[in-house]
Amino acid sequence: MRRIVLVIAALVVVSAAPAALQHSPLRLNASASVPTGLYRIVPRASRYAAICLPAAILATANEAGLFVPPGECPDGKEPILKPVYQASAESPVEFDPSGFSIGDRALKNTAAKLRSKMGKPLSHVAYGRYTEGLWAISDYNPDSFDSRYFGPLSEANVRYYAVPFFLF
């Protein structure tokens, strides 16, 4: 009998966890674009941002065979958590066949691919030097769907900024 009570209690905790996280400053990231774990929402710009993708970019993701699950963005989709860089004249974002550079620092794992991990064709933003826009660039995962494929975003696309709280 005690074992049944423990199993039921564990099921209740596991099923309530997503709702509890939704009303806390913590968000679980299980995607491969940044380290897996809990991220704490912060009120200011930080290295990581949860981004609500515009409809045209979501359509491109779908065409590439990528699925954005339901979530808290205005369109009902989940925001994507990515490292972000604000391009400026002092800190330009450069993109070439080897990937992105911020200032003089090359970002590993950022070269554009011709096909998604689902084998669908991808097109990338034009190579060049950019001094404007918010760029979502994952140097953590070479298969990340990020600004290499859709370019810079507006600050209005940021749902929240976050910092790592507990990584697994």
Whole-angstrom Cα distance, residue 58 to residue 143? 16
Q: Exposure of 155 by Cβ count < 10 A (0-12 exposed, 13-18 middle, 19+ buried)?
A: exposed
Whole-angstrom Cα distance, residue 47 to residue 79? 15
Q: Is the CB of residue 39 less than 8 Å from the CB of residue 159?
A: no
Residues in a beta bridge with 26: 40
- Give CA 14 to chain center in angstroms: 24
Give 113-136 pLDDT, tens digit per residue: 999 999 999 999 999 999 999 999
Helices H, strands E: what count in the chain?
Answer: 3, 10
Cβ neighbours, 10 Å, residue 34: 22
Per-residue model confidence (pLDDT) at position 24: 92
Per-residue model confidence (pLDDT) at position 1: 64
Whole-angstrom Cα distance, residue 45 to residue 68? 24
Cα-only R_g, the chain: 18
Per-residue model confidence (pLDDT) at position 108: 97
Domains and CATH numbers, the chain: 26-167 (2.10.109)
Give 20-79 pLDDT, tens digit per residue: 556 799 999 999 999 999 999 999 999 999 999 999 999 999 999 999 999 999 999 999
Q: Is the CB of residue 45 less than 8 Å from the CB of residue 162?
A: no
